[in-house]
Amino acid sequence: MSIHPTEFYEDGSMYVVYDEQQHEGIVTLDQLLPAAPDLITGIIDPTIKGLPCPDGCGDISWHPIGGGADPPNVQEMYVRNFVAREGMTPIEAIELVKKEIARTDPGSRWAVPSEREAVLRTL
Ligand SMILES: [Zn+2]
């Protein structure tokens, strides 16, 4: 499942596990890496973000907003990132993630459990 978040904390950090290497630890939302700018337009795709391994080994997993192998946790990571780093309200962030999942990955759907979505709405 690569490098993925497993738990989120109020201070903007998350517990992250790298399954294949059995590395784990804390990564903060401001450590998420932006995608490389488009070579022609220079635009950075906000629907792809890199999550670095917490132990500093240098490995990075690139997660599409739909969540790939771990939709609930990756989608929650995007919501929390948009709120903490982009200044969105929780409702705006949740709606944007849902919209971008539908646009970029029609095979995926919103996968954050309702009890966790309720917590996100209070960020
Ligand atoms: Zn590592």
pLDDT (tens digit per residue) in 46-62: 999 999 999 999 999 99
Centre of ligand 1 from the C-alpha of residue 26, in Å:
11
Confidence (pTM): 0.95
The helix/strand/coil state of 77 is helix
Centre of ligand 1 from the C-alpha of residue 66, in Å:
24
Within the chain, how many helices (H) and strands (E) appear?
3, 6
The helix/strand/coil state of 81 is helix
Centre of ligand 1 from the C-alpha of residue 78, in Å:
21
Q: How far apart are CA 4 and CA 15, in angstroms?
A: 9
Per-residue pLDDT tens for 57-82? Answer: 999 999 999 998 899 999 999 999 99
User: Above 80 in pLDDT, residue 1?
Assistant: no
Centre of ligand 1 from the C-alpha of residue 74, in Å:
18
Q: How far apart are CA 49 and CA 121, in angstroms?
A: 22
- Residue located via tokens 């946790």: 73
Centre of ligand 1 from the C-alpha of residue 1, in Å:
14
Centre of ligand 1 from the C-alpha of residue 13, in Å:
17
pLDDT band, residue 105 (cuts 50/70/90): confident
The residues, any chain, with a CB within 8 Å of residue 75's CB and separated by 6 or more, are 65, 66, 67, 97, 101, 110, 111, 112
CA nearest neighbour of 33 among 15, 48, 13, 54:
48
Centre of ligand 1 from the C-alpha of residue 121, in Å:
32
Q: How far apart are CA 87 and CA 37, in angstroms?
A: 21
Tokens of 111: 């996968």
CA nearest neighbour of 82 among 118, 49, 37, 43:
49
Centre of ligand 1 from the C-alpha of residue 5, in Å:
13
